[in-house]
Structure 1
Amino acid sequence: MADYQTEALALLQQIMAVPTVGTDESLVADIIEDYLAPLLKAGVLTTSRVNFAPHRDNLIVRYGDGDAHLLGLTGHMDVVTAGDETQWAHAPFAGTVVDGRLYGRGATDMKAGLAAMVVALKRRAMEEPHPAHPVVLFATVGEEVDNYGARQLAAAGYADHLDALLVGEPTGAVIKPAQRGIIDYTVTAKGKAAHSSQPELGANAIDGLVAFHQAVGAAVAPLLAHSDPLLGHPTHSITLIQGGAQVNIIPEAASLRGNIRTIPAAGNEQFKAALEAAVHAVDIPGVDLSLSVDSTLVPVGTPADNVLVQALQAARTANGLEAASVTGDTGITDAALMCRPGTALAIYGPGNDTSHQTDEFVELTDFNEALAVYGSLLANW
């Protein structure tokens, strides 16, 4: 293993040892700043922080001056809970290496991608203190909950001048220049309780939800028929439902929650209009429905051959790797907030489908490959 790969692994293990489950991202920012300290002292790199909450700082690392041809790198510092740690074969915050795999929470999602970007940026800054084009790295808080850090940074204008944005989420040997949007919503039904032997004296809230289920299916059907070359069809799923108090009582209250994944051709506003139409279409005497849109992020669609995708393909070739396949991302990343109109997007990083799972891991070959590709990208940006 090359010296810089050993260095990168050590940094990754160090930041994985911090259990940033909705807290303490500032400790990871401290580690990154300590790692970059010689370059910060020399003025080759600069850092700043944007505080979100106590012990939760977003970190911004700047390399080069100006905004011409500005490349953004972004990765989040938080992780999801490890759950029942007794079920892990390897302690979730120990960063254990076994048979070429690094195990632990965040190994894939996405401290490996963040560490690889930090190390690649340091190596490039050491080689060339005065880059032809500037780079800015964002290490964000709270991505796993509601993209808290990215929301904060985007609202403050930190993403306004990015020509390209690389998101180091786990994709393996795949480049993703587009991602779906999301809507989480709740429909609440209010009726009237009654004895189940006399249902005519009440108004069954669950009947209202059943009617909504039928109405919303018809309302969103034309939108679900749309398709995107990278992202495929949008989706709509009702994922939670609750109601009633006892088997012999007509339920006076019930609610359901749904999740929609949108695409540019069938976007968030269109789906919200369809949800509202479905609520208004329900006519159950004595039952009132209300809609709450709980969370929404718009889809991000950029060309499959955008300038950053091309640069990543060239970086792979420079490292003896085959061209990566290009497809859309069905999930959500900080790109939903940080990618502005006209920004070239690529989601590309080390990792696999063990995100959020027990015994999450990253292959060290995958990690080292991303490290090399990031390095070549920065050298030729």
Structure 2
Amino acid sequence: METKINAQQVRDREAVISLTQQLVRIPSVYRPGVEDGNEEKAAHYVADYLKAMGIEVFIEEVEPGRPNVIGIIDSGKPGKTLLLEGHTDVVTEGDHNSWKYEPFGAEIVDGRMYGRGTNDTKGNLACMITAVDSILQDKESFNGKIILCIPCDEEGMMIGIKHFIKNGWAEDVDGAIICEPEENQVCISQRGAMRLELITYGKMAHGAISWSGINPNLRMAKVIVELEKLERKEQERLGKHPTLGWPSITPTILKSPVKGEPQINVIPDQCMTTLDIRTVPGQDHEELKQEIRNIFSRLSEDDADFKADFTVLEDRPWTETDREEAIVKSVAQAVKQVTKEDPIYNGVPGATDGTFLHIAGIPIVTIGAGDRDIPHQINEYVDVNELAVTTQIYRQACLHFLNDKGEK
């Protein structure tokens, strides 16, 4: 492939590396109550960059200091609308001293750029912007419209993409590329995510007089054992998904008492656990909720003092896009054109902002530069050559999708 590199690709390579470095050097970890502890500076940098490209830009504040940036490139000709999505927020760097390289330094060593967000997903945000800039600079002809969706809070409750959809920006979008680190594999499925807070109730009492109380911890232990059985049943029923792996039900946080100070000789009145439930095609979230209610009912039949309930904190369904969708075919064609290799199809192990675009009825494909196992790690990195390849994939995917002569 090196012998085929032309002036346009050299230009784009330099641009995407530079833009990635600039974005990574703007910390955009959401830290409530901390000055500059949000996405605002990164978002405004992106907005100014897009304006300099001649793009129509909208900035919408989702929460104070947490804006979405939307860029619109309208060809002026009828056609489809393509959305490219990449978020501005990153997770915490953790222990600063544990990093070999400055977490927000974007230092390049032996072909790798290190820093928080290089992989997830400021590198891919830079790729999508550079790809569009390349199309504009070269005055490439295309039909329809490109929307650059650059939201806040993908790493949290995804309030940015929800706000974007609520405000009508996703209407009439015909396909979306979710720009996340997937080793440039064409990911057409995602595991669903359902987060629950589950509480068992008891009666506070002295630990030495246990019969005078009701121990919620023992009840929670029984619930967790039953949840493990439910997980095993679902895994046996569905098997291992070819791209998403196993469905799972994972207790994460365990807290007792829920409020107040714990004391070794006191039976608490409540016990709480959180569940991180990851689902695959073939599972129904409402049915899973009912299975948990059934567990409560069975346990209460054998224990008159058993009482429990749960609250749904977040509910993100699994997604699956057919290979025959125009956006999938366009991305796959671009991968083959740029890499000279057949595309690898895969799935995303977790949810992305694309989850909510899928709910809005938009076919999605997730693809981008970066090792799939590197996000959120100490010494996060991305290969700079991979950024260059991804930029060309996005560029060609845009042109293939928008210039497709098929019906909208």
Which category describes the TM-score, using the shorter chain as reference length? Answer: over 0.9
2:313 counterpart of 1:294: yes
* CA-CA distance at 1:67 after TM superposition: 7.6
Find 1:54's aligned residue among 54, 57, 64: 64
Find 2:244's aligned residue among 218, 231, 234: 231
Map 1:296-375 → 2, pairs under 5 A: 296-340=315-359, 343-352=362-371, 353-375=373-395
- After alignment, is 339-348 or 252-261 more displaced? 339-348
* CA-CA distance at 1:143 after TM superposition: 0.6
Identity of aligned residues (%): 24
* CA-CA distance at 1:222 after TM superposition: 4.6
* CA-CA distance at 1:104 after TM superposition: 0.4
2:156 is matched with: 145
2:45 counterpart of 1:26: no
What residue identity is the alignment partner of 1:61?
G
* CA-CA distance at 1:20 after TM superposition: 0.5
Distance 1:358 1:219 in 2: 34
Distance 1:229 1:68 in 2: 35
Which consecutive unaligned segments of at least 5 residues does structure 1 have? none
Distance 1:191 1:67 in 2: 64
Distance 1:211 1:57 in 2: 44
Distance 2:40 2:208 in 1: 59
Distance 2:80 2:113 in 1: 35
**CA deviations over 1:290-319 (Å, ceiling 9, x no partner):** 211111111111113432222122112222
2:85 is matched with: 74
1:187 is matched with: 198
User: What secondary structure is seen at the aligned counterpart in 1 of 2:208?
Assistant: coil
- After alignment, is 189-198 or 367-376 more displaced? 189-198
1:132 is matched with: 143
1:173 is matched with: 184
Distance 2:361 2:196 in 1: 29
2:295 counterpart of 1:278: yes
Distance 2:297 2:234 in 1: 18
Matched-pair contact (CA < 8 Å) for 1:107–1:361? yes
1:241 is matched with: 254
Distance 1:142 1:204 in 2: 39
- After alignment, is 285-294 or 81-90 more displaced? 285-294
Matched-pair contact (CA < 8 Å) for 1:160–1:340? no
What residue identity is the alignment partner of 2:251?
I
User: What secondary structure is seen at the aligned counterpart in 1 of 2:171?
Assistant: coil
What residue identity is the alignment partner of 2:310?
L
Matched-pair contact (CA < 8 Å) for 1:177–1:301? yes
2:51 is matched with: 37
Distance 1:105 1:67 in 2: 40
User: What secondary structure is seen at the aligned counterpart in 1 of 2:26?
Assistant: coil
**TM-score calculated relative to the size of structure 2:** 0.86
User: What secondary structure is seen at the aligned counterpart in 1 of 2:348?
Assistant: coil
* CA-CA distance at 1:215 after TM superposition: 3.5
Distance 1:360 1:281 in 2: 46
Matched-pair contact (CA < 8 Å) for 1:192–1:286? no
What residue identity is the alignment partner of 2:375?
S
Matched-pair contact (CA < 8 Å) for 1:67–1:162? no
What residue identity is the alignment partner of 1:226?
L
Aligned length: 377
2:5 is matched with: none
2:106 is matched with: 95
**CA deviations over 1:305-337 (Å, ceiling 9, x no partner):** 432222122112222431221122121100111
Shift of the 281–61 alpha-carbon distance from structure 1 to 2, 3 Å rule, reads same
**CA deviations over 1:165-203 (Å, ceiling 9, x no partner):** 100100003110111111111111221123333322111
1:211 is matched with: 222
| CA RMSD, Structure 1 to Structure 2 (Å) | 2.1
Distance 1:161 1:276 in 2: 39
Matched-pair contact (CA < 8 Å) for 1:306–1:345? no
Find 2:170's aligned residue among 154, 159, 166: 159
Distance 2:334 2:159 in 1: 31
User: What secondary structure is seen at the aligned counterpart in 1 of 2:219?
Assistant: helix
Distance 2:157 2:80 in 1: 29
Distance 2:64 2:51 in 1: 23
Matched-pair contact (CA < 8 Å) for 2:216–2:269? yes
Find 2:14's aligned residue among 6, 9, 17: 6
**TM-score calculated relative to the size of structure 1:** 0.92
What residue identity is the alignment partner of 2:393?
V
Distance 2:63 2:42 in 1: 15
Distance 1:67 1:48 in 2: 22
